[in-house]
Amino acid sequence: MRLVDGVATARPEADVSIAFVDAQHTDLAAALAESVADPQAIIVPLVLSAGYHMRTGLARGLDRLPVAGAALADPLGPDERIVDVLVARLARLGTLDDEDVSVVLAAAGSNDPRAVRECFETARMLGARLGRPVTLGFIAAAIPRLPDAIETVRAVHPGTRVVVAAYLLAPGAFYDAVVLAGADAVAEPLLLPGEVAPESLVSLVLARADAIAQDQEYRSRV
């Protein structure tokens, strides 16, 4: 994964590895244990918001690891560095300067109300950066659903061109759903196959890890 490669390059003195955990995995502790052997390991979840699997599944799995001392960092979002990339992806479409363009932020969705609130916060941050309102739409699990959000924008602003910013880490089934949701144009997701990970995302992952490392250092002194 290019983001992990970028983190390893930026922090060569660190032992950086990747672990894949299926959201449907029945034993997250076992999945994590396959890759987490260092008792002082810092696990940075490459997720954009703190949904159920972040707050409950990963946290419980961490408690059951065979090594003591491993720590779980915060999710990546919301954060201004993600907004940096969202704006850059939208800029590639070449439509942001058009007055008749409306922006919708597409998020995966979650049953966790805290994760939903975090997505709304990202939409607010993106709107503040662009200097225009940004409507939020979810692909699953939460409302408003993306097609409904797009149609609402068109109803409120007749004649507008709807451009979607994809609040997704990478291409896949969710991004395919965004493309089919009915917008006039869809920006690319945050990470792209074959491209180096944006420096802002690498910086964000390192910041999440450093926050945990500083906390571990503080706790070792008290």
Question: pLDDT tens for residues 54-74?
Answer: 666 676 666 666 556 778 899
Question: pLDDT tens for residues 103-159?
Answer: 999 999 999 999 999 999 999 999 999 999 999 999 999 999 999 999 999 999 999
| Local structure of residue 145 (DSSP, 8 states) | B
Does residue 24 carry a pLDDT above 80? no
Q: Which domains does the chain have, with CATH numbers?
A: 2-75+196-221 (3.40.50), 80-186 (3.40.50.1400)
User: Residue 165: which H helix or E strand, with range?
Assistant: strand 161-167
Q: 65 in the Ramachandran plot: left (φ > 0), alpha (ψ -120 to 50) or beta? A: beta
pLDDT of residue 109: 95
pTM exceeds 0.75 for this model: yes
Q: Which residues of 17-40 are buried (b: 16+ CB within 10 A; e: fewer)?
A: eeeebeeeeeebbebbbeebeeee
pLDDT of residue 121: 98
| Local structure of residue 146 (DSSP, 8 states) | H
The C-alpha atoms of residue 136 and residue 210 are separated, in whole angstroms, by: 31
Mean pLDDT, residues 193-220: 87
Amino acid at 119: C
